[in-house]
């Protein structure tokens, strides 16, 4: 049994990536996903996808604050399900599940999906402690994350395994049908955003840019604490009638198929799945030049702009909409994803690590891998 451990199961890139990886591994191996926080009923009500998952999911009901007993509850769980390896995602799971896996002498992989949290001295110290306890094979999901983790924690550079997406599910489709399914208008340019409505995702920047892109409609899929403020801003900018708030969209492939162009105006990112998913659907993406976005962008079709620059974003959207209207060129964003970031390639790399493939660590590693 391969066990993936996350802090919580709420709609987000890390959580989607974990579920997709578990599903892919589950084609040939026994796999389960463990959420430290929450309970099944509440999580499924907030995220309907969970009710349809074929992968077994366990909720540990972590208590607020430091919950030492959680380590021993995880030890009992790992032994009960016959775990052979534990894959932790982000620092909380590494601290608790990494310690439990070390007690059980299981194979251990830890993936860092971003490095912004390591800028905080307290979190950096916590990560250092967790790494010493768990001694996992350390993986980063993008080169810039690997560099930042090495700078913050020292030691050898983490392995890099790029996030991957299901190119069978995320594929070009019938645009008219997709717009009909989402209630989007026909005959007008549609720009799509799929993101949590939080400041870091920069949806406010996209609204300001939309004010300079007349005639286009912005379809926003996602929920979050900033929704009301963003709706107020749209009204102040005089574009409220050109912004469609879709809320949570369970199948974002339909959103990308419905769009002409996809926008990622984030202030910070790791390697966002939305970038890869949209390109797998054949869509031109206009995105902020932050984090791992440049490495995940098709260099032929994609357009990178500076973060927090509505004027530059508006210009990029104009160019992208013109390209989209001209039709597919010689290079397809989907081809780029097929070459570099498929779910199958990600799954093969992680499964090889977990089930004892050739040692991926370097001789200079200060922390040898677990037996």
User: Closest by alpha carbon to 293, among 303, 283, 282, 281?
Assistant: 303
The full set of domains in the chain, from first to last, is 2-164+342-354 (3.40.50.2000), 175-340 (3.40.50.2000)
Gap between the Cα atoms of 179 and 320, Å rounded: 19
Res 332: pLDDT? 86
pLDDT digits (tens, 9 = 90+) for 32-71: 999 999 999 999 998 988 999 999 999 999 999 999 999 9
Res 271: pLDDT? 84
User: Closest by alpha carbon to 298, among 314, 322, 278, 318?
Assistant: 278
pLDDT digits (tens, 9 = 90+) for 211-256: 999 999 999 999 999 999 999 999 999 999 999 999 989 899 999 9
- Count other C-beta atoms under 10 Å from residue 163's C-beta: 26
* Half-sphere exposure for 253 (CA within 13 Å, toward CB): 14
Query: pTM of the prediction?
Result: 0.80
Res 367: pLDDT? 37
Kindly report the CA angle at 116 between 111 and 117, in degrees rounded to 5?
Answer: 80
What is the DSSP track for 145-208?
A: HHHHHHHHH-SSPPEE----B-TTTS----HHHHHHHHTPPSSS-EEEEE--SSGGG-HHHHHH
pLDDT of 368 > 80? The answer is no
- Count other C-beta atoms under 10 Å from residue 370's C-beta: 17
| Largest pairwise CA distance in the chain | 61
Query: To the nearest whole percent, how much of the chain has pLDDT over 90?
Result: 75
pLDDT digits (tens, 9 = 90+) for 117-171: 778 888 888 888 999 999 999 999 888 889 988 988 888 899 999 889 999 999 9
- φ, ψ of residue 93 to 5 degrees: the values are -60, -35
Gap between the Cα atoms of 166 and 272, Å rounded: 14
- Residue pair 128/153 in contact (Cβ under 8 Å)? The answer is yes
What is the DSSP track for 346-364?
A: HHHHHHHHHTT-S--S-TT
- φ, ψ of residue 94 to 5 degrees: the values are -65, -40
Sign of CA dihedral 5, 11, 17, 21: positive
The band of 275, judged by pLDDT with boundaries at 50, 70 and 90, is very high
Res 189: pLDDT? 97
Torsion angle in degrees (nearest 10) through CA of 74, 63, 127, 21: 50
Res 357: pLDDT? 58
Res 329: pLDDT? 64
pLDDT of 97 > 60? The answer is yes
116 compared with 347, residue with greater pLDDT:
347
- Residue pair 285/303 in contact (Cβ under 8 Å)? The answer is yes
Where is average pLDDT lowest: 60-74, 275-289, 356-370?
A: 356-370
pLDDT digits (tens, 9 = 90+) for 292-350: 899 899 999 999 999 999 999 999 999 999 999 988 765 689 999 998 889 999 999 99
Torsion angle in degrees (nearest 10) through CA of 184, 187, 193, 198: -60
User: Closest by alpha carbon to 32, among 9, 57, 51, 52?
Assistant: 57
What's the DSSP call for residue 238? T
């Amino acid at each position: 049994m391969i066990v993936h451990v996350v802090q919580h199961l709420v709609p987000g890139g890390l959580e989607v990536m974990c579920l997709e990886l578990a599903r892919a591994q589950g084609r040939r191996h026994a796999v389960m996903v463990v959420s430290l926080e929450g309970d099944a009923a509440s999580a499924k009500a907030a995220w309907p996808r969970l009710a349809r998952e074929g992968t077994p999911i366990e909720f540990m009901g972590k208590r607020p604050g430091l919950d030492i007993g959680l380590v021993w509850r995880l030890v009992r769980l790992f032994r009960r399900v016959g775990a052979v390896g534990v894959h932790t995602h982000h620092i909380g799971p590494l601290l608790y599940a990494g310690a439990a896996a070390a007690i059980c002498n299981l194979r251990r992989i830890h993936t860092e999906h971003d490095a912004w949290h390591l800028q905080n001295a307290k979190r950096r110290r916590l990560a250092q402690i967790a790494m010493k306890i768990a001694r996992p094979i350390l993986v980063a999901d993008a080169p810039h994350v690997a560099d930042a983790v090495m700078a913050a924690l020292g030691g050898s550079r983490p392995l890099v395994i790029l996030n991957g997406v299901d190119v069978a599910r995320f594929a070009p489709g019938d645009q008219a049908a997709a717009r009909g399914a989402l209630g989007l208008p026909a005959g007008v340019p549609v720009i799509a955003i799929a993101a949590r409505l939080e400041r870091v995702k920069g949806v406010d920047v996209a609204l300001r840019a939309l004010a300079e892109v007349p005639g286009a409609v912005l379809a926003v899929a996602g929920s979050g604490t900033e929704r009301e403020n963003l709706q107020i801003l749209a009204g102040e900018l005089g574009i409220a009638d050109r912004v469609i708030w879709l809320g949570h969209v369970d199948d974002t492939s339909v959103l990308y198929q419905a769009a002409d162009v996809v926008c990622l105006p984030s202030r910070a990112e790791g390697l966002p799945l939305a970038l890869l998913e949209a390109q797998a659907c054949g869509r031109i993406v206009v995105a902020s030049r932050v984090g791992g976005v440049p490495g995940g962008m098709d260099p032929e079709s994609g357009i990178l702009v500076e973060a927090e620059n509505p004027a530059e974003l508006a210009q990029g959207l104009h160019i992208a909409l013109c390209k989209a209207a001209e039709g597919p060129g010689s290079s397809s964003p989907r081809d780029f994803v097929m070459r570099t970031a498929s779910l199958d390639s990600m799954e093969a790399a992680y499964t090889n690590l977990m089930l004892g493939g050739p040692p991926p660590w370097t001789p200079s590693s200060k922390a040898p891998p677990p037996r």
